[in-house]
Structure 1
Amino acid sequence: MGLAYICRPGASRRSTDGRSTDGGEGTMQARAQIGVTGLAVMGRNLARNFAHHGYTVAVHNRTPARTRELIEEFNHEGAFVPAESIEEFVAALERPRRMMIMVKAGEATDAVIDEFTPLLEPGDMIIDGGNAHFADTRRREAALRERGIHFVGTGVSGGEEGALNGPSIMPGGSVDAYAVLGPMLETISAHVDGEPCCTHIGSDGAGHFVKMVHNGIEYADMQLISEAYDLLRQVTDHTPAEIAEIFRGWNEGRLDSYLIEITADILAHTDPATGQPFIDIVADAAGQKGTGRWTVQTALDLGSPVTAIAQATFARVASSRGELRAAYRAMPGGIRPPVRHDEAARFVSQVEHALYASKVIAYDQGWTMIRDAAAEYGWDIDLGAVARIWRGGCIIRAAFLDRIRAAHAANPGLVSLLAEETFAAEIADAQVPWREVVASAAHRGVPTPAFSAALAYYDTLRAERLPAALIQGQRDYFGAHTYQRTDRPGTFHTHWAQPGRPETEV
């Protein structure tokens, strides 16, 4: 297949930002403002999104049949330039060339980069819109920078629907690359209150790092919601349909979010094959694609205590360990009679408090991790802007993100959400019900790893003194790892095996 100009009637002149405006159809070789290679669902939908916004889009896939399918099905939606070879694809792109790769993270991404790089010139850019590990992005960006090519690791959140209708977009890379690419990404992103859900996150791997943390928060949010459902099901004896109505009510208040909305829809759904609640015929073993695991592993490297995110990730792992679960299943548990009918409404309110407080903690852990990484890698990340671009398009979009944005805008040095007055007041108000929910879950044997981890994290950081002092003593005793004192500066070691156990300053 040679290059063909496929477009809507009236799409040849371009506006000042490069988008097509009007003109006639033609068959001459086209010049595309953006190219997408890798036309699985996400790549195809992003290409269509660009086309919907007036851009001429070059499209390419390793399997040419997929390119032809896109053209046959969607050519009426905008201006596409199909290419069967990588040479045709690159030749279709205007300078500076902007090509987005949407392939599997890892070796496949490296293979595509290696294939295309010899055809590119200084000033061109490769945009990786997949879920790449940020360390790989840093490596790729440094290597391509030496050749004068911009590499833009870009987090894209919102799934296939967001990719088509407006995702949250988190590009990293250089400021110069964003100056050229940013207006296009902002145009196709979701918009909230007239603002694009896209901003330049920071240099090299910052965009993919922030997307990774987004997914870690997503793990925690989903686990917390699932624990809330489980508590309502087991403690109050509500049916899934009744719990769906509870969630719909919550979605009209401070828990207003996409995940709460879809949870209500899922719980209200009846399986057409069995007539049973859909939730009861789904296997209780949750999968994952690795970004939650990356978040936890990276948090350990950074020394960032993302305990709620970690427990949510481990909960997914535990759910899939069938043989291990079978070995534990016959073991005794808590007492599980449902609460009395007149107590159910109170318990529902307590769970709402616990869910909200735990959610705030999980998000705060994510923001702390981003701040820690920015310090480690020299990224200048606007934490308020991160909250702003997550308000629409992405999976964790929620009403309270605007409050997080406002909090960081008012105080760019904000250390924690709990240092902001209104969030602090809400957590204080949630104290009693939050603790009662976790205690009730433990008494009844209902697992709440994320609720419990969030509360323990809160209590750990608010404690005036922690048992870490004993751990320091233990480390010094068996390994001479030293310790600090509270009464004077310096580093010390006690000679535990000597008479009188003398202490020396190291």
Structure 2
Amino acid sequence: MNASASIGVTGLGVMGRNLARNFARHGYTVAVHNRTAGRTRALVEEFGDEGAFVAAESADDFVAALQRPRRLVIMVQAGGATDAVIEEFAPLLEPGDMIIDGGNAHFADTRRREAALRERGLHFVGTGISGGEEGALHGPSIMVGGSVESYAALGPMFENISAKVDGEPCATHIGGDGAGHFVKMVHNGIEYADMQLIAEAYDLLRQVAGYAPAEIADIFRTWNEGRLGSYLIEITAEVLAHTDPATGGPFVDIVADAAGQKGTGRWTVQTALDLGSPVTAIAQATFARAASGQADLRAAYAGLPGGTTPPLSRSEATRFTAQVEHALYASKVIAYDQGWKMIRSAAAEYDWKIDLAAVARIWRGGCIIRASFLDRIRAACTADPDLVSLVSEKEFAAEIGDAQVPWRETVASAARRGIPVPAFSAALAHYDTLRADRLPAALLQGQRDYFGAHTYRRTDRPGAFHTHWSRPDRPETTA
């Protein structure tokens, strides 16, 4: 087989197939391969008029079809399936060739694979691809890890097929080994928080303000024209406006209220704990999904007493809607800030040189959390690459200040009525924790010293100290 393909894609599920079509539509000759050969033939038969494809039924033919340096994209299920494909193809490759993992792999697995393949002279490029099946076809946001050398050969192709905003590609080199998959993981964690916050806003507008789903859809459409403008706000309006054809009722009312998850939100929370990075809004959003699926536990809690408050008048509902908008925006800023801090912590831990302004730039298009305020985040990180927190930036700080009363009133209203708002509450508590002059952590350290002699630091002099709690006079000693 002639080596005519610029890039190859193995694993032709929905994402793999659409990514291959995207490359072909941009003028690249694409080798395609799947464990089931019939899927390969079906792709070429159905979409062969979109560009140049080379169908390969064997691993040997697939590799032979690729120009040097070979660029081989794996689009299979994360975990063992990815390792199996790597072991199938790596022996057929030569030094300088690239294996690109475009799935939702755990970044620790990517680091392991990158190190192992580097010893064999191969580049392993862990690549986060966001945007779902439509993004894969029409232009995703692409977060590329791996070596600088591999990006020199691969990056221009990814930039070409990515989404574009103001003419700029939504693809960039994030950093070494697992950096690309790490940033994609945090993207998905922020996505969990963003979706949960939107869902809580909907719940409040319906249960407190008394609006019907179609009315809430109109509210979200209005919000989408302002500072909350984003892909998720846009599609939320579409979902809420949809009528179920079978019942004639609101679509949202016939959907079972148990949310699924594929693991990236959970990975974000687990990794944040390892890094000591407080992503509380993301964590509560992840736990909210878990709780929604606990049918037996929910049944045990059913019928227990909750808060009650008279319904709002229409004029009160209008005022409450404005409060919810403030609360949603402020909580969203906190969730993004938590994700930003986590990326910064990981960059220090793993020695990744991550440009956070570039991350904001490539998240402006193609990805699920694309939002209008990412331009401002990009500008803030460009002006100060060492920016500790988004809320220390002048405009965000002013908006958080303006949101104080409505944000707190929204959370209080939910508590009085017994309406769960775990992500709103977590975001506000995070804000209050970090702005506090003094925290009750001092008492925690006293408790730890009492039962475990863990020592403590004093505010009035340096050093570590321990109090001998078992002695009547309780003397203090230097640790």
TM category (shorter chain) comes to over 0.9
For residues 413 and 62 of structure 1, the distance between their equivalents in structure 2, rounded to whole angstroms, comes to 46
**Residue equivalent to 1:349:** 322
Which of 85, 93, 97 matches 2:70?
97
C-alpha distance after superposition, 1:235-291 (max 9, x if no partner): 011000000000000000000000000000000000000001000000000000000
For residues 30 and 206 of structure 1, the distance between their equivalents in structure 2, rounded to whole angstroms, comes to 31
Cα shift at 1:388: 0.3
**Residue equivalent to 1:450:** 423
Alignment of 1:131-146 (within 5 A): 131-146=104-119
**Residue equivalent to 1:18:** none
**Residue equivalent to 2:267:** 294
C-alpha distance after superposition, 1:141-190 (max 9, x if no partner): 00000011000000000000000000000010000000000000000000
**Residue equivalent to 1:190:** 163
For residues 341 and 302 of structure 1, the distance between their equivalents in structure 2, rounded to whole angstroms, comes to 47
**Residue equivalent to 1:391:** 364
Residue 163 in 1 paired to residue 97 in 2? no
Which of 391, 408, 427 matches 2:381?
408
Cα shift at 1:336: 4.2
For residues 334 and 392 of structure 1, the distance between their equivalents in structure 2, rounded to whole angstroms, comes to 41
Alignment of 1:37-76 (within 5 A): 37-76=10-49
For residues 51 and 310 of structure 1, the distance between their equivalents in structure 2, rounded to whole angstroms, comes to 39
**Residue equivalent to 1:463:** 436
For residues 142 and 467 of structure 1, the distance between their equivalents in structure 2, rounded to whole angstroms, comes to 43
Alignment of 1:357-396 (within 5 A): 357-396=330-369
Cα pair 2:3 2:64 within 8 Å, conserved: no
Amino acid corresponding to residue 371 of structure 1 in structure 2: R
For residues 503 and 262 of structure 1, the distance between their equivalents in structure 2, rounded to whole angstroms, comes to 61
Cα pair 2:188 2:265 within 8 Å, conserved: yes
Cα pair 2:3 2:67 within 8 Å, conserved: no
Residue 233 in 1 paired to residue 206 in 2? yes
Residue 435 in 1 paired to residue 412 in 2? no
Cα shift at 1:340: 1.5
For residues 413 and 472 of structure 2, the distance between their equivalents in structure 1, rounded to whole angstroms, comes to 50
**Residue equivalent to 1:324:** 297
Which of 188, 199, 204 matches 2:177?
204
Cα shift at 1:337: 3.1
Structure 2: gaps (5+ residues): none
Partner secondary structure for residue 199 of structure 1: strand
Which of 82, 90, 96 matches 1:123?
96
Amino acid corresponding to residue 59 of structure 2 in structure 1: I
**Residue equivalent to 2:466:** 493
For residues 313 and 72 of structure 1, the distance between their equivalents in structure 2, rounded to whole angstroms, comes to 41
For residues 23 and 265 of structure 2, the distance between their equivalents in structure 1, rounded to whole angstroms, comes to 29
**Residue equivalent to 1:108:** 81
Cα shift at 1:30: 5.0
Structure 1: gaps (5+ residues): 4-28
Partner secondary structure for residue 464 of structure 1: coil
Residue 218 in 1 paired to residue 191 in 2? yes
For residues 430 and 382 of structure 1, the distance between their equivalents in structure 2, rounded to whole angstroms, comes to 29
**Residue equivalent to 1:309:** 282
**Residue equivalent to 1:502:** 475
**Residue equivalent to 2:455:** 482
**Residue equivalent to 2:121:** 148
Partner secondary structure for residue 243 of structure 1: helix
For residues 131 and 218 of structure 2, the distance between their equivalents in structure 1, rounded to whole angstroms, comes to 25
For residues 296 and 218 of structure 2, the distance between their equivalents in structure 1, rounded to whole angstroms, comes to 35
For residues 310 and 422 of structure 2, the distance between their equivalents in structure 1, rounded to whole angstroms, comes to 21
**Residue equivalent to 1:174:** 147
Partner secondary structure for residue 28 of structure 2: coil
Aligned identity (percent) is 81
Cα pair 1:234 1:336 within 8 Å, conserved: no
- TM-score normalized by the length of structure 2: 1.00
Partner secondary structure for residue 173 of structure 2: coil
Cα shift at 1:342: 1.6
Matched length: 479
**Residue equivalent to 2:217:** 244
**Residue equivalent to 1:22:** none
- TM-score normalized by the length of structure 1: 0.94
